[in-house]
Chain A
Amino acid sequence: MRSPVRRRLTRVLVALGLISLIALPAAAPVGAADPVVLRVGTVQDLDAMNPYLTEYYVGWEVFGLNYQGLVDFGLNAEPIGGFAKSWTQDGNTWTFKIDPDLKWSDGTPATSEDARWTLQKLLDIQKGDRGYVGVGYLDLYLTYAAVNSVSAPDPQTLVLTTDYPNTQILTSYLPILPKHIWEKRDINTDANKVPVVGTGPYQAVEWKTGEYVRMVRNPNYQGPTPKSYQDETFIQFFKDEGAMTEALKAGDIDYARNVTSDQFDSLKSQPNVVVAESTVAAEANAFTHLVFNTHAPIKDGGSSTSAVRDVAFRDALGYAIDKPALVDKVLGGHGVVGSTIIPPAMSGGLWHLDPPNVRTFDLDVARQKLDAAGYKLDASGKRLDHEGKPINLKMVVPSSSTTYSQSAEFISAWWKEIGVGVTVQSLDPDAVSALQKPPEADPPGKASYDVVIWNWAGDVDPNSLLKNATTDAIKSGSSDSFYSNPRYDELFALQGKENDQAKRKTEIDEMQQLLYDDAPYHVLFYDAALSAWRTDKFGGWPLSPETGGLPFFAYGTAGYDYLTAPQAAAPSAAASAAASAAASPGSSEAAVVATAAPSAPPASSSTSGSGNSLLLVVGIILVIVAVVAVVGLSRRRSAAGEEE
């Protein structure tokens, strides 16, 4: 009686078993002359292949590989030959020379006409109705450099003229596009479908959105090294750092950008993996801050209390922020305590100012200052502002990173202790952006917030960061503090044109001090960038900058040119250790831990967690069996009770 059903069941099970047998021992198929493939992992998803349309770091990395800028960045962010091999400056005139043998990746000769066409296109769009190119980040470099005309007297020469003498053009990102392909396209909207044609070291031939970009070597590339080691470069996008770290451990990728501090610690003991913490590269050139809404009162919007417009209030609150604790608890120790808005990582610490009047964490001092400024405590322990209202600040954080919400929790707890109420809200970044628009901007906004915690990323040049606190920035919508100080505006204009570095430094120092004293921002910390890479497939990992930097996602993509075949263990560790020993002041060393052990089986997890996991597995199975038995039996009894 049982047989037919049983037979069927067994048949199904056998079939499943066969399928799993086939699936299980799938070894990674490797052919004879396989291309050398570099796989880079990141959590950020590429949004656009058109350099003028991307808004993400990963997009900049990709166009840095696809194309060359007019001038490129070397490992230490120094200007090196890009599309143009060399240049001279004579007052307002720049003359760039292009190599006569330069070709596009499709074989077409590349000449100054391509450069002229690209830059002229940018200038034309800027002068037109639209006013900006694509998403408006890259054409700004032409504005900073005050370029007013561009011409190509012969195929190897490009001439630029500027409004006033400056060297901004040497620190600009201006990817040069092939005219013969782009003259039929609209640079503001074109998706730049693969395959891409450029003069950079690798061009994208495949892009699976949300998954990866595949880039192959440009046979016509003219780079600093004779020939880079890898034939192909993949950039793979992961859902979260956990998946990326797993992939690195398993050897599925060779480089993991921005792992979390917990993963960083767990990777330290992995064989063939180097971890590096950099306080000078990439994300380190940024500052996480708390910004106050100092705008004048806005009808149906604006700040909830006049207190945030009072320097004394803001200054007092600055003493109620324990920055070292934030770095320790929120960043896991991977970061630098913040002070002024120009990060020490920028240009090797050239512009950063350490203010002499640093605020320390002292709740009593904070209380005293609040009392002195006229913010008395009421009966229930809340501070009243000058209008007699209890102060309750609305703090908004973007949901893009837990760093912000965690910092918000700490800060609101400290402020509550001194009587300042805080309500924290987490919104998505676009909503926070829209929230920060004042009535003067277009489109106008209500700016209904008191405090925002966010992050500004820096550039090679301090210009872009300084701009945000100018009065002009309020109207253009990029100001988040609505700070307006005529002296600051004056200095901004001066330093923008200043060619004497020493004088410029003095001007920028004064600006940083102004902001520190007036405290529209409290700079919390400068993040450290945490990355890791494997040494069993590749060697010669360069650092950018060479002291304490990281190989990739640096200012330029020079790092990709320096990889070599895997080296015998120690050299990479020794090189970086030596480099870190010779750390220059103002930039901390990179903590590098390398193990020289031969490769372990990549697929298994080698942390101590694996033993626990097995126990857990057994435990779970036992629990499941137990519960199943109980539940199954209970149903049985009730079912039996049903049919009498």
Chain B
Amino acid sequence: MGSRYLLRRILQAMLTIAGIVVLNFILFRAMPGSPERMSHNPNQSAAARADLRARWGLDQPLFPDQFARYISTTLQGDLGQSYKYKGQDVTEVIANRVWPTIILFGLGELIAIAVGLVLGAYSGWKRGGVVDYAGNGASLILYSMPYFLLGMILLVIFATALGWFPTAGMFTLGETYSSFSDQLLDFAHHLVLPLAAVSLGLIGQYSILMRSSVIETRSEDYITTATAKGLSESRVLRGHAVPNALLPTVSLIGINLGFIIAGAITVEVVFSWPGLGTLTQEALEARDYPVLQAIFLILAVTVVFANLVADIVYGRLDPRVRT
């Protein structure tokens, strides 16, 4: 793969990230109420307020002083302090909540891809089978449903009514585990429903993708030839249909990342899963702007990065994209 292509993509990504940082700065300063609202104390004296402004650098002109200061602190990884969790750094607040989200959505995507591709392949090959209709219909409905609605339904049926799974959280609180596997079991028990919600929501896109790829591949001339020659179905699938579907799947993963964020937030809220999603909702409720913006920054950068990786992988896989 051409290194010029690689370089160009990386440069584009950096430019985008720069744009995001600038946008973040503008948003931050346009916020209703300034950082001074950190203090809700009605008895604050004028001198104290001036001191706070000086400490935040708000008494300096917007450009370039405040902007430069913002850039330098951000690059150093200092994203400010939370309004709500007083005395705590934003990075700290966020760091505590990242892993649950990664686990939930990482696993969710994997399952969705695996199951989706398989389902799509099956229904694509067996055009018109029960799996095809059911899969199509189910995909459409799942696609039309807001993520959290799916979560609410699963919760009501399996947790509240049937009682098979817990209704909230990641672990049972206050439990003492006699072994690591017990703890893992508890975790898995809590993970099933939210994972199901996430996977079901994502399956549709991958299965539709795979299905049309298989259909397209299947009608190609060389497939007819290959089958006539006696090649087995699965070889044909594996050799041609799957690689053809891989390309758009890769880019779909990248694009998906941006779109599943809304779903992430709401699914986590429904299940009280202690990840970035619930943190976002809490920060919104508490109008904890530093945390909100940090989340925005981190998510945006992650999406840019993911898209970059997807593009590079795409470029690797598809010889047509090499300029």
Q: Do chains A and B touch in the complex (CB under 8 A)?
A: yes
Distance A6 CA – B43 CA, assembled complex (angstroms): 72
Distance (whole angstroms) from the CB of B240 to the closest CB of chain A: 14
Distance (whole angstroms) from the CB of B212 to the closest CB of chain A: 11
Contact of A135 with B41 at beta-carbon distance under 8 Å, contacts A2-B126, A210-B274 already known: yes
B153 near A620: Cβ-Cβ < 8 Å:
yes
24 contacts between A and B (CB under 8 A): A5-B122, A5-B125, A5-B233, A23-B192, A26-B188, A26-B189, A35-B176, A37-B174, A55-B40, A131-B43, A131-B44, A134-B86, A136-B44, A191-B85, A209-B97, A210-B282, A234-B174, A236-B173, A431-B33, A605-B163, A620-B157, A624-B141, A628-B137, A629-B137
Q: Which A residues are CB-close (under 8 A) to B188?
A: 19, 22-23, 26
A501 interface residue, CB < 8 Å from B?
Answer: no
Distance A224 CA – B190 CA, assembled complex (angstroms): 40
B43 near A478: Cβ-Cβ < 8 Å:
yes
Say which residue of A5, A30, A246, A613 sits within 8 Å of B121 (CB atoms). A5
Q: Which A residues are CB-close (under 8 A) to B166?
A: 250, 252
Say which residue of B45, B49, B128, B278 sits within 8 Å of A239 (CB atoms). B278
B66-119 interface (Cβ within 8 A of A): 84-88, 93, 96-97, 114-115, 118-119
A28 near B172: Cβ-Cβ < 8 Å:
yes
B176 near A31: Cβ-Cβ < 8 Å:
yes
List the one stretch of A45-53, A93-101, A307-315, A572-580 in contact with chain B: A45-53
A40-85 interface (Cβ within 8 A of B): 45, 47-48, 50, 53-55
Contact of A29 with B177 at beta-carbon distance under 8 Å, contacts A4-B237, A9-B118 already known: yes
Contact of A613 with B156 at beta-carbon distance under 8 Å, contacts A23-B192, A631-B136 already known: yes
Say which residue of B33, B132, B163 sits within 8 Å of A434 (CB atoms). B33
B234 interface residue, CB < 8 Å from A?
Answer: yes
CB-nearest residue of chain B to A188: B87
Distance A624 CA – B45 CA, assembled complex (angstroms): 62
CB-nearest residue of chain B to A605: B160
A605 near B161: Cβ-Cβ < 8 Å:
yes
Given contacts A29-B175, A209-B88, A243-B272, 17 further A-B contacts (CB under 8 A): A5-B126, A5-B237, A16-B115, A26-B189, A34-B176, A35-B176, A47-B84, A48-B85, A140-B43, A191-B86, A209-B96, A239-B269, A614-B161, A616-B156, A624-B141, A633-B133, A636-B128
B192 near A20: Cβ-Cβ < 8 Å:
yes
B223-271 interface (Cβ within 8 A of A): 232-234, 237, 269
Contact of A627 with B141 at beta-carbon distance under 8 Å, contacts A129-B45, A605-B160 already known: yes
B43 near A434: Cβ-Cβ < 8 Å:
no
Say which residue of B42, B93, B279 sits within 8 Å of A478 (CB atoms). B42
Interface string of A477-513 (1 = CB under 8 A from B): 1100000000000000000000000000000000000
**The 10 residue pairs across chains A and B that have the minimum distance between CB atoms:** A632-B133, A4-B234, A628-B137, A136-B41, A191-B87, A632-B137, A603-B163, A478-B42, A26-B189, A613-B161
Q: Which B residues are CB-close (under 8 A) to A610?
A: 161
Chain A residues close to B by CB (< 8 Å): 1-2, 4-6, 8-9, 12, 16, 19-20, 22-24, 26, 28-31, 34-35, 37, 39, 45, 47-48, 50, 53-55, 129-132, 134-137, 140, 189-192, 208-212, 214, 232, 234, 236, 238-239, 243, 246-247, 250, 252-253, 428, 430-431, 433-434, 441-443, 473, 476-478, 601, 603-605, 610, 613-614, 616-617, 620, 624, 627-633, 635-636, 639
B59 interface residue, CB < 8 Å from A?
Answer: no
List the one stretch of B13-21, B22-30, B178-186 in contact with chain A: B178-186
Distance A473 CA – B164 CA, assembled complex (angstroms): 56
Contact of A132 with B33 at beta-carbon distance under 8 Å, contacts A210-B279, A250-B167, A629-B137 already known: no
Contact of A208 with B161 at beta-carbon distance under 8 Å, contacts A12-B114, A29-B175 already known: no
A243 near B282: Cβ-Cβ < 8 Å:
no
Contact of A629 with B133 at beta-carbon distance under 8 Å, contacts A53-B87, A210-B282 already known: yes
A132 near B44: Cβ-Cβ < 8 Å:
yes
Q: Which A residues are CB-close (under 8 A) to B164?
A: 24
B178 near A48: Cβ-Cβ < 8 Å:
no
B167 near A47: Cβ-Cβ < 8 Å:
no
A5 near B234: Cβ-Cβ < 8 Å:
yes
Contact of A29 with B85 at beta-carbon distance under 8 Å, contacts A9-B118, A632-B137 already known: no
Say which residue of B51, B96, B272, B281 sits within 8 Å of A129 (CB atoms). B51
Contact of A48 with B87 at beta-carbon distance under 8 Å, contacts A29-B178, A632-B134 already known: yes
B48 interface residue, CB < 8 Å from A?
Answer: yes
A130 near B134: Cβ-Cβ < 8 Å:
no
Residue picked from A45, A236, A603, A614, most chain B C-beta under 10 Å: A603
Chain B residues close to A by CB (< 8 Å): 32-33, 36-37, 39-49, 51, 84-88, 93, 96-97, 114-115, 118-119, 121-122, 125-128, 132-138, 140-141, 153, 156-157, 160-164, 166-169, 172-179, 182, 185-186, 188-189, 191-192, 232-234, 237, 269, 272, 274, 278-279, 281-282, 286-287
CB-nearest residue of chain A to B192: A23
Distance A322 CA – B122 CA, assembled complex (angstroms): 66
CB-nearest residue of chain A to B179: A29
Distance A49 CA – B286 CA, assembled complex (angstroms): 17
A428 near B192: Cβ-Cβ < 8 Å:
no
Q: Which A residues are CB-close (under 8 A) to B44?
A: 131-132, 136, 442
Q: Which A residues are CB-close (under 8 A) to B42?
A: 136, 441, 473, 476-478
Distance A189 CA – B188 CA, assembled complex (angstroms): 39
Distance A247 CA – B279 CA, assembled complex (angstroms): 20
Distance (whole angstroms) from the CB of B139 to the closest CB of chain A: 9
Say which residue of B33, B137, B185, B189 sits within 8 Å of A627 (CB atoms). B137
Distance (whole angstroms) from the CB of A7 to the closest CB of chain B: 8
A191 near B88: Cβ-Cβ < 8 Å:
yes
Distance (whole angstroms) from the CB of B154 to the closest CB of chain A: 11
Contact of A54 with B46 at beta-carbon distance under 8 Å, contacts A22-B188, A247-B168, A636-B133 already known: no
B182 near A252: Cβ-Cβ < 8 Å:
no
Contact of A247 with B175 at beta-carbon distance under 8 Å, contacts A208-B274, A431-B33 already known: no
CB-nearest residue of chain B to A4: B234
A50 near B118: Cβ-Cβ < 8 Å:
no
CB-nearest residue of chain B to A56: B84
Distance A64 CA – B236 CA, assembled complex (angstroms): 70
B45 near A613: Cβ-Cβ < 8 Å:
no
CB-nearest residue of chain B to A11: B118
Contact of A428 with B87 at beta-carbon distance under 8 Å, contacts A247-B167, A636-B128 already known: no
Contact of A442 with B49 at beta-carbon distance under 8 Å, contacts A246-B168, A628-B137 already known: yes
Q: Which B residues are CB-close (under 8 A) to A31?
A: 176-178
Distance (whole angstroms) from the CB of B55 to the closest CB of chain A: 10
Q: Which B residues are CB-close (under 8 A) to A443?
A: 36, 49
Q: Which B residues are CB-close (under 8 A) to A473?
A: 42
Distance A192 CA – B85 CA, assembled complex (angstroms): 11
Distance A402 CA – B295 CA, assembled complex (angstroms): 28
Residue picked from B118, B166, B173, most chain A C-beta under 10 Å: B173
B33 near A430: Cβ-Cβ < 8 Å:
yes
Distance (whole angstroms) from the CB of B23 to the closest CB of chain A: 23
Q: Which B residues are CB-close (under 8 A) to A50?
A: 86-87
Distance (whole angstroms) from the CB of A254 to the closest CB of chain B: 10
A189 near B192: Cβ-Cβ < 8 Å:
no
B86 near A252: Cβ-Cβ < 8 Å:
no
